[in-house]
Amino acid sequence: MMKSIDPKRQAIIDAATRMFLAHGYRNVSMDKIAQAAPVSKATLYNHFDSKPALLAAVVSALCTALLRTMTEAVTESDDVENNLKKIATSFMDLLFAEDGLAIYRLVIAESHDFPELGRLVYESGPLPALNWLENYLRRLNAGGRFNIADPTFAANAFFNLLKGDLYLPCLLAIKPLPSTDEKNRVINQVIPFYMRGILHADQ
């Protein structure tokens, strides 16, 4: 179960998200974020000791819905195909969210000068999702229903199949964001393909 977030922490994350997207990472000071929240500087630094840590928290917050969907899907059902479809839907909604794309562009732009920023962001959002799916696949192996030779590769493959040829053009802002129908079409192609290939059942 996901723990509820402290209201002041959430206010800080919301303010930081707005400020980063409006003004860029390097143009926003911790003082300005405290004013926008609004909270005292002491409260801000009590929750986040640096601006990179705060940006990492922004990314983690964006990924919360995906991680919650992953946990709830497996808790509620042992239907693997249906669980993967729920996870895929949440992932696609996150992947093509305007704020998510904008934050990712910001991180890419700043990571050359602030390499610790990229590491913090990766470890706060994408890596937990990847690790969770890998562990889920390992549990499927342990249950004897599947024989997944390389769960690490299989978890990576799942997310990369969903990105397909849609994600990079959207990240580069040369194509509009896909509609719900377009995202569903990708999901409905990927899930059966994945089940037949990577998740080969021993029957």
In which residue ranges of the chain is pLDDT below 50?
Answer: 1-2, 201-203
Residue at 14 is within a domain: no
Range of the structural domain that residue 94 is part of: 60-196
In a domain, 146, yes or no: yes
**What confidence score (pLDDT) does residue 200 get?**
59
How many distinct structural domains can be found in the chain? 1
The answer to whether position 35 is within a domain reads no
φ, ψ of residue 146 in degrees (nearest 5)? -135, 160
Mean pLDDT across the chain: 88
* pLDDT of the residue at 203: 42
CATH number at residue 64: 1.10.357.10
27 in a structural domain: no
Whether residue 22 lies inside any domain: the answer is: no
Say if 72 falls within a structural domain: yes
Q: Dump pLDDT digits (tens) for 175-200.
A: 999 999 999 999 999 999 999 887 65
21, part of any domain:
no
pTM for the model stands at 0.81
Contact present, 150 and 84 (Cβ < 8 Å): no
Look at residue 102 and tell me if it is in a domain.
Answer: yes
**pLDDT score recorded for residue 125:** 80
- What whole-number distance in Å separates Cα of residue 44 and Cα of residue 175? 38
Buried b or exposed e, range 142-171, using 16+ CB within 10 angstroms: eeeebebeebeebbeebbebbbeebbeebb
- Model pLDDT, residue 3: 55
Proportion of the chain above pLDDT 70, given as a percent: 96
